[in-house]
Amino acid sequence: MQRRDFIRQAGAGALAGALGPSLAQAQAERTAFIISGFPAGGMGDQVARPLAEKLRGRYAPGVVVDARVGAGGRIAVDYVRRAVPDGMTILQIPSSPMTLYPNTYRKLSYDPLADFVPVCSTVNYAFVLTAGPGVPAEVRTLADYLKWVQANPQAATYGVPAAGSALHFVGMLLERHGGRKLTAVPYKGGAPLLNDVLGGQVPVSISVLGEVMPYIRSGRLRGLAVSSAQRSPFLPDVPTFVEQGLADVVVQEWLGWFLPARAPRERVQQLNALVGEGLRDPALVDSLARNGLQPFHQSPEEFAQLVRGDLARWAPIVKSSGFTAED
C-alpha cells in the first residue's frame, strides 16, 4: 500500500469511528514521521535522529526522519499542515518559518497559529558576528569593527546564509543601532559563506554559532559578538552585542516541534514528555554541545506563548526595515 493511501485510510478511520480504541489501534500499527525542512546531515538531523531513536517503540513502533527540503522550510511546513491530524506527522522547524516569515512574506500557505499545535521547543542557538582574514588582525571587538568600517566604507559588507533570514535581520539591527551603513551579501547556505569568510572574500559574516565555533576556537576566525542575551557557554570569551552597547540586538533562534491543528491532546502531551526525557540524556546533551546547541524544552503552553511572542516581536522590526521576502 502506498504511504499516501495508508495515511488517507487511517485518517478516515480516525474521523469516522470511535476515536479512542480506533485511533489507538491505528497508531499502534503505524510509523511516525518527523518532517524536517532542511537537508539531511545538517543541524536538524543532529536533533531529530537521536530523538527519533528515543521515540521508537514508545510513541510509535517506527519513527522516521523525512527531509522535505525547499523554500526555506516552507515546503515542510505546508506538508505537515495538510497531513492527517493524528499525531503521526510531526513538523521539526526552526523559529523563522513560524515567527519571521509571516511578517516578511505577503502571502503564505499556512498560518502558524491556526494550522498547528505547538508541541515543544527542543534546542536553541545563537548567532555570531565573525571576522575573517579580510579584516585587520587588530579588529577584536564590535567597537573596533564599527570604527574600521567607518574608515573603510567600501568594506562595510557582511555575509549571511540567506536573504530575509533571522541572521540577516541581526545585520539590519546592527546597522540601525550601531550607526554605520552596512550592506548584506546573501549566500545560498552557510557552507559557501564560511568558505568566503575563511578566504577573505567577505570580511565578516553573521553565522549560526555552531557552524563557525571550531574556527573561532582554533583562531582562524574571530568572534566579535554573539546575538544571545547572555554569553554562549560554547564561546565564553566572545561578548554579546548587549555587553558592547547594542541592547536591542538580541536574537536567539530555536528549533521546535509541531503537530497539525486538531491533533489529539493526549498525543501532544505524550510527545512533549518523551522529547523532554530524551533531551535530558547526557550523551545527547554532549552531542548537541559539540554543535553549539543547547537543550531548550518547554511545555506545549509555554511553547505556544513563545511562538506568539516571537511573532509579535518580529512584526515592528520587519515593518521598520521595509524588507519584503521574494519567492
How do residues 5-19 score in pLDDT, each as one tens digit?
Answer: 444 344 433 433 333
- Residue located via cell numbers 518559518: 97
Q: Please state the pTM of the whole predicted model.
A: 0.88
C-alpha–C-alpha distance, residues 213 and 6, integer Å? 44
Kindly give, in sequence order, each residue whose CB lies less than 8 Å from that of residue 52, ignoring residues fewer than 6 positions away. 34, 63, 64, 65
Rounded Cα gap, residues 174 and 181, in angstroms: 9
Q: What pLDDT is recorded for position 30?
A: 87
Give tens-digit pLDDT for 49-85.
999 999 999 999 999 999 999 999 999 999 999 999 9
Q: How confident is the model at residue 29 (pLDDT cuts 50, 70, 90)?
A: low
**pLDDT per position as a tens digit, 153-199:** 999 999 999 999 999 999 999 999 999 999 999 998 899 999 999 99
The count of other CB atoms within 10 Å of the CB of residue 108 is 16
pLDDT at 39: 84
